[in-house]
Structure 1
């Protein structure tokens, strides 16, 4: 039974798919590359580390270094992301989990400062006992961060559930020897999520129904 939930942020709790596509297309246009105009196409391209996803959409790092492209992306994404909504049923789910005395944490591949800036727009910070992010904008991986957090917290991994929207979230959970549920309305295509070992639901309402049956 689950005693601790570690949430992903982008695409899982925060509904930022549209702004993420806008930011990607902003940079693609600056590089005179074809735009990604379809959400299903975007979800098929998306992956971690983000540098591989950038390669898929056609960026040439010999022409413009990844670090420059990543900064251009974030310069557009971050201010515009502050107007994003949370996914439907997020607050109700966080409240339900809290009412069951399950501890909740936020762990993201986002820059920690940017993460706190986004969280300030919503009244949900109170649900998280700790918030973890990276110290850069390159979104390479959060696997080591997650494993260290679980170990340093003294959690029994079999009582920890990671919740995310990407194949990488499944990889992170496996690396930390924890359980994982993936929600298929974020950044990555459901067909890719179903190829992982994780349990997959379509939306936060389905996750809510699942978690009510599985928390302590």
Structure 2
């Protein structure tokens, strides 16, 4: 059954920034004197939300290096480099399919709204979305609240909506909102971790149309 609304995550779902985020983490660790380094597979096993908890799993000691300081340094490296990130495999095709199918689309992101808006515009994607739902700061704390507020204000039946994301946090957000959820294993967390949520997991967004048709 096709949903009436697709709620897209951005980073790692539509924007292919996984390798960059992995590199930024390793550079942040090195720059602060930590010995830990993570390859792509290991990165996908530790990444998650809240971001503070992810930083602790990565090895940071906030008594030595406060989270806010680390986040500022991380973003100073990430933002200019992210201009070179493309879209995840099948992303544009999935967006076009949804648009042609008459499905309303929004992005719900942990990113700061001005950053999200710029990244979407740089990739000529604005025409696909009715709304861009981002955060007021860089600390990625309020995705559930943002999504719930949007559904309440828009009057959309959560049961008719589907969230597409790449992390267990996206599943938690979908559950809190009362929407369906499909997770994509091409992003920031491993397929094994995503499958623990008990919702459909696809390999790339190329598989999304068929997945939604079968639900």
Bin of the TM-score, shorter chain as denominator length: over 0.9
**Residues 160 and 179, structure 1, Cα contact 8 Å, conserved in 2:** yes
| Secondary structure, aligned partner of 1:163 | strand
SS at match of 2:189: coil
User: After superposition, what is the alpha-carbon deviation per residue over 1:21-53, rounded to whole angstroms, capped at 9, x for unaligned?
Assistant: 111112111111124331110000001010000
SS in 1 for 2:111: strand
Distance in 2 between residues matched to 1:209 and 1:85, nearest whole Å? 23
Residue 130 (structure 1) aligned with residue 131 (structure 2): yes
> What is the Cα deviation at residue 123 of structure 1?
1.6
In structure 2, the residue matched to 1:104 is: 105
Normalising to structure 1: TM-score of the pair?
Answer: 0.95
1:63 corresponds in structure 2 to 64
Task: Indicate the SS of the match to 1:132.
Answer: strand
Please list, as runs of the form range in 1=range in 2, the aligned pairs for 1:151-166 lying within 5 A after superposition.
151-166=152-167
4+ residue stretches of structure 1 with deviation over 4 A? none
SS across alignment from 2:181:
strand
Distance in 2 (CA, whole Å) between partners of 1:197 and 1:150 is 24
Q: Which runs of 5+ in 1 are unaligned?
A: none
Tell me, yes or no, if the aligned pair for 1:183 and 1:201 is still in contact at 8 Å. yes
Q: How far apart in 1 are the matches of 2:114 and 2:98?
A: 26
**Cα distance change, pair 213–100 in 1 and its aligned pair in 2 (3 A):** farther
Could you list the per-position Cα deviations for residues 70-94 of structure 1 after superposition, in whole angstroms to 9, with x for gaps in the alignment?
0000000011001001012211111
Which residue of structure 2 lines up, in the alignment, with residue 195 of structure 1?
Answer: 196
Normalising by structure 2, what TM-score?
0.96
| Equivalent residue number for residue 28 of structure 2 | 27
**Aligned length in residues:** 214
Once superposed, what is the RMSD of the aligned Cα atoms? 1.2
- Contact 1:25 1:36 survives alignment (8 Å): yes
* Match in the other structure for 1:175: 176
Cα deviation, residue 198, structure 1: 1.9
Is 2:6–2:106's contact at 8 Å kept on the other side of the alignment? yes
Structure 2: 5+ residue stretches without partners: none
Cα shift at 1:148: 1.2
Q: Shift of the alpha carbon at 1:141?
A: 3.7
